[in-house]
Structure 1
Amino acid sequence: MVVVLQLLLTQEVYNGGELTNPANAPASITYQITFANNDNTMIADINFGPGWWRFIYEKTQQVVVADPNITFKVDMSDYTGTIATGVFLNGSFNNWCGNCTPMTNTSGSIWEVTVPLTAGPIQYKFTIDGWNDQEFFVGGESCVDTIADGFFNRYYVVAADATLPAVCFGSCDVCPSIGIVENAIELDVFPNPANDKLTVSSTEKINTIEIISMNGLVVLQKSINQSSAILNVENLKSGTYFVKVITDDNYLFERIIIE
């Protein structure tokens, strides 16, 4: 913020010169000043030819500006898994802690939470039962960060109090308004745990299968275009992964363990 203010604090200098005789000082001089530190610091820079003067004034009682309150909402109506302990908000602002920022089921399928956040960019995602399940993005989505670090998270710049729209879990958009699906897709993933081969079978044609690590990296991807497939997982490190099955109209997740 830049303002023009009349100061009566000194009349010895003016923009472009310096008075040699105080008797020649006018009653007031207009200086251009800037504010910093949440308007608690006022700075006046005055160029008088061979050099410049800087005046810095601090408020005797500084005003503490509260962090903006941001309300996050997620719609779980399209989520096909089981929610045991709840939906959680994880992000760069809470060190991806797991279950330290629980959300509240406020109405139907909508979960929300309001948290005070320091102004600036954040990354975040919604998770289930701590880290038992989470959102997955492939990169390039409108709400996902463009940082080339191998992770794909939601991105937002905190500036002022805001209520974010209720987006669909795992999507940048709101959930579509659809009726009840009478014939839900059935998905079988076995054996679980697995060590060399993994069979994925569905009642609907599968377009693509992805295996995703716990930190969101796609470690295996295969185009199928049929209702079942056998994947070679013997080169994957031991640990927990998610199998993402993509069909024409849906996507499903299944958690697996590789031994």
Structure 2
Amino acid sequence: MKSKLSFVCSFLLFTACAPLPKETVSSLPGQGGAGPVTGKNGTIFSYTGVADKVVIAGSFNDWSQDANPLRELGEDRWETTLKLPAGAHQYKFVVDGNWITDSANSNTADDGVGGVNSVVTVSGASPDKAAGVVSAADAPKQVKGGTLFTCSAPTANKVVLAGSFNNWSQDANPMRKNAAGIWSVIAPLATGAHQYKFVVDGNWITDSANSNTADDGVGGVNSVVTVSGASPDKAAEVVSAAGAPKQVKGGILFTCSAPTANKVVVAGSFNNWSQDVNPLSKNASGIWSAIVPLSSGSHQYKFVTDGNWIIDPSNSNTSADGLGGNNSVITLP
């Protein structure tokens, strides 16, 4: 079935735990607002209530109390719009230091400390965009809008794509069947390695067209697709000195000065701390660089230089890594 256990263990090993409030309250006097609404510009979160400061903290920003503040619109109405990748995301509002669920959203999940988190599910690109143009099932591939997944199941009534990118949801990424009996969907995925299965009329199966697999933790395997960032070659040769991460065309430019190193990789919360997904490329000045597309929110990372994990010396923003050290942190609006 699903390798949730291995994912959780990896997350706890390499990242700091989500900050746990001393007390989580279910609601505050006068609390209100509309549930999350996803449109072409992102997902709108709103809160109504008297407050000095309202922040949204969730799985998408490492539960940061600073990364995504809501702006006051007047009449005690607060709002923010976030661009979230496809999948299910857990969150809470932090209202003047009080952690509360979204009273306008009935979708919740256990928060692991005796309460619940609110949950918003962001769907992938409409399956209509993929259906009708696929003549045969094939391994996942990058197309305009995301990653195209296909599954041949002519007699099936329902096929869904479930994976690590949508909390193994059987609802977030439904697929659509064309006349050839091929089901397809385009899912916008973040850079990194993602595990998945197709759920065909309730049966969980691997992708027969994809030979890349990983142990699912329950005696079977999950299919694996790896989404690469922009080629590091596009960043190399134009960087004269290492600096803090910055926004460039195509994503975030990471740079690291390591003239004698043989291999440098950026590993972080955005790629499951992989030492393979985002390698950097060295130029003649000994500066290693890579452009990585990142979503809005707070991301923790380290450079892995010839196997040694180091923080970014050019970036003063850090957070405890849970192992007695720190991770570098970059926050995107």
TM-score (norm 1): 0.29
Max radius of gyration: which structure?
A: 1
TM-score (norm 2): 0.23
- Report the structure, 1 or 2, having the larger helix content: 2
- Report the structure, 1 or 2, having the larger strand content: 1
